[in-house]
Chain A
Amino acid sequence: MKLSVQADHLKSFKEALSSRCQGVRLGSEFCEQLLPRPCELEEAVELAQQAGKAFTYITPRLSNAGIERLREQLALLNEKGETWVVFNDLGALNLLGHYPNLHPHIGRHMLLVPARSPWVEQHLQREDLSVRRRDWLRALFASTSLNYRPTIELYRGYGCQRVDLDWLPRTFPSLTFLVENGLRLSVHLHLVPATFTRKCHTARFLREESPEKCSKPCLDRAFLLRNEAFGLEFYLHGNVAFRLAEPHPEAVKELENLRVAELVLTMNPVTGIDSAEKIDATMSKLMADER
């Protein structure tokens, strides 16, 4: 199992390159304003090649304008050779079909994962549930919307062989089904998206004027949100509210046994991982055998 590092801007990406990680990812799963400029993308691909690390490009949900920016980037990437592109929008998947060197990788936004809900335990602990109903709910919260063979076949028909997933131990047993159906799995450490918007909560809170003029405060700021009445706690980073899931070495072993191919470590203000040293320290902590 390899460990890859995901960065949403070139500075972090360069830090990732100098760490012990085996793969590097550039881009944003969540915000099209964070798509790199073509020259940055070109530089990232070349740097990854020089460092001998596998490169993956990450794309978010997109507007019409974002689609046009992506079109330009995909043409550039296609010229650079074979690359995996994580898509989080059906429009991006539609575009990817035009570029023979680019391979679609299913992003987290494409999946509905009931276990992402902060209310799972509340549902399962209801006393009025029959045994049958409770079993049904357990199956629901263990499953993802990819745990249906025709859905996988549909995606595979578009060339998708890889998929991003969350660190949600409740869903780990269902991952075997995905592997058996020919998917190569990548699991994100730490951050489980609980809600996501195009009306960026951070930008609105900080009174940014418009997406086009956004100063991108999310590159170095994040917020903790607490609602005691609801018992909710989220980490707000840009336009996403995450739940934090602390990974531990035993579960990493479990994922390895399940034939998960890749763990993904994200560099951002919520994880606090912003340097090669911190990446290496996290790797050492989680993957003792990799030392």
Chain B
Amino acid sequence: MWTMSRPKILSPVSSFESAVGVVSAGADEIYCAVQIPGAEHILNRPAGCCVSTYDELGNIARYARSQGVDTIVTLELPFMSEFMIGQMREHIASCMDQDIDGLIVGDLGLLTLVRDMGLDIPLYASTYLVALNYEAVDFIRKLGVKRVILERHMSVEEIGQVVQRNPDVEIEVFIHGSGCSNINFNCYLEGGRRKVEALQQEYRGTKGLPTPCRTPFDVYEIGDGERKVTRAPILDGYTFCALCRLPELFEAGVTGLKIVGRCLPITYQVKTTEMYRKLVDVIAQEEIGRSRRAHRRRLMRLIEPFKEEPFQPILPPSPGLSSAPPSIRETLCEEGRCYFSPLFHVPYRPSRRSRRRFGAR
């Protein structure tokens, strides 16, 4: 007989109010950060993505604990340098004073710093440590990490292999929101937030935040006079949602299902948590039969109605358009914005002319 685990739902929190919201909505764990001055120049996280003070973090952690929910703090910087030692020691100590339950660390130097400070707290390896395979997870495990958050670009099958090969470490995966086609740690496209904000009006109607990778580029073939091929959002892979893959993630044995959205409105954080709470409970309650395939079919039928839930757009609705928020089906499914979609999935179509001239199929 095959088995299924029941993973935890990890929800994003950006304030005490959002913590109350997502905990009430059914989050098993919450994660948040307190802004480090200057970090926005590396991570491009505006102030609104973070809890504003250590005191507020303390209030969040106490409230969450009273509800049986763990508070995990991301250290926010996937970077450590000598000139930051004092600042980071102070930041880590201030977070620790708030009685939190775990630290997410995205840099080997920071990991060393936390260990050197002699802190007794579970460590979570951030996606910024780029664990893409079971050997990388094993390497990170040996550094004393309790949980590894996998990089987004893995298939469910690969995730399952990682879980099997690393039984002594918890595995967490992203499932919803702000899917990024580039490897976070190796991507420097963000950081131009001010420029992005200035261009929001121009790109109104783009689904999701118009980061540079999601906007069109003029594409020229190098050599032969650098002729223009087409104009396309060529740097984005459009991944967002994992509704349909939840049954397989259960089977794979992951510990945590992470919802992205610290920078998004509280309503988004709450509604998305609610939806996944219902869905995870529905899947967990469904009796396991002898046939895995039949079980998956039953689960897929249960998942279908969830696709009609509204997908909260980040930008306000454009004037003149219907105020009814589009559903997940319309926003994500119909455009193939799916986590774990094939690696070479193409969400845009090169023009017929460019296909003919440059051999794009």
Provide the residues of chain A in CB contact with B82, threshold 8 Å. 143, 147-149, 177
Q: Total A-B residue pairs with C-beta atoms closer than 8 Å? A: 244
In B313-361, which residues have CB < 8 Å from any A CB?
342-346, 350, 359-361
Other-chain residue from B130, B212, B345 in contact with A89 (beta carbon distance below 8 A): B130
Q: Which residues of A contact B41 (CB under 8 A)?
A: 114, 123, 137, 140
Q: Does A99 contact B (CB under 8 A)?
A: no
Q: Is the CB of A196 within 8 A of B222?
A: no
A241 touches B235 (CB 8 A): yes
A195 within 8 Å of B by Cβ?
A: yes
Q: Which residue of A lies closest to B42 (CB)?
A: A114
- A206 and B188 form a contact (CB under 8 A): no
Residue of A122, A139, A177, A196 near B186 (CB, 8 A) is: A196
**Contact (Cβ within 8 A) B221 A198:** no
Which of B58-66, B73-81, B96-104, B270-278 is near enough to bind chain A? B73-81
Q: Is the CB of B135 within 8 A of A112?
A: no
- Asked if B234 and A225 sit within 8 Å, CB to CB, the answer is yes
Asked if A89 and B136 make an inter-chain contact with CB atoms under 8 angstroms apart, the answer reads yes
Asked if B154 contacts A197 (CB within 8 A), the reply is no
Decide if B135 touches A154 in the complex (CB within 8 Å).
no
Interface membership of A257, Cβ < 8 A: no
Q: Give the complex CA separation of A61 and B183 in angstroms.
A: 10
B361: A residues at CB distance < 8 A: 206-207
Number of contacting residues on B, CB 8 A? 77
Residue among B113, B116, B158 making CB contact with A64, cutoff 8 Å: B158
Judge whether B83 is part of the interface by a CB distance below 8 angstroms: yes
Minimum CB–CB distance for A198 against chain B, Å: 4
In the assembled complex, the CB of B302 is this many whole angstroms from the nearest CB of chain A, namely 29
Are B113's CB and A235's CB within 8 A? Answer: no
Q: Which B residues touch A201, using CB under 8 A?
A: 181, 234-235, 237
- State in angstroms the CA–CA spacing of A149 and B80 once bound together: 10
Considering only CB atoms and an 8 Å cut-off, how many residues of chain A contact the other chain? Answer: 77
A103 at the interface (CB under 8 A from B): no
| Binary interface encoding of chain B residues 133-158 relative to chain A, with 1 for a CB under 8 A from any of its CBs, else 0 | 11111111000000000010110001
Known: A64-B162, A137-B38, A151-B108. A223 touches B221 (CB 8 A): yes
Contact flags A182-204 to B (C-beta < 8 A → 1, else 0)? 00000000000111111111011
> B260-279: which residues lie under 8 A (CB-CB) from chain A?
none
Inter-chain contacts of B81 with A (CB < 8 A): 139-140, 143-145, 147-148
B 81-121 to A, binary, CB cutoff 8 A, 1 in contact else 0: 11101000000000000000000000111001100100000
User: What distance in Å separates the Cβ of A147 from its nearest Cβ neighbour in chain B?
Assistant: 4
What string of 1s and 0s marks CB contacts (under 8 Å) between A261-276 and chain B?
A: 0000000011010000
Nearest neighbor of B39 in chain A, beta-carbon distance: A140
Decide if B162 touches A232 in the complex (CB within 8 Å): no
- Apart from the given pairs A94-B136, A122-B192, A223-B219, 15 other A-B contacts in the complex at a CB distance below 8 Å: A62-B133, A63-B133, A123-B41, A137-B38, A195-B188, A195-B189, A199-B181, A199-B239, A201-B235, A206-B360, A222-B221, A225-B219, A229-B215, A230-B212, A236-B219
Instruction: Offer 24 A-B interface pairs, CB within 8 angstroms, sorted by A.
Output: A61-B130, A64-B133, A67-B135, A90-B136, A91-B133, A91-B135, A91-B138, A112-B128, A133-B37, A145-B108, A148-B80, A148-B109, A151-B108, A194-B189, A197-B182, A201-B181, A205-B232, A206-B361, A210-B343, A224-B221, A225-B219, A227-B216, A270-B222, A272-B223
Q: Which 6 residue pairs are nearest across A and B when measured between Cβ atoms?
A: A91-B135, A207-B361, A91-B136, A151-B109, A198-B153, A199-B237
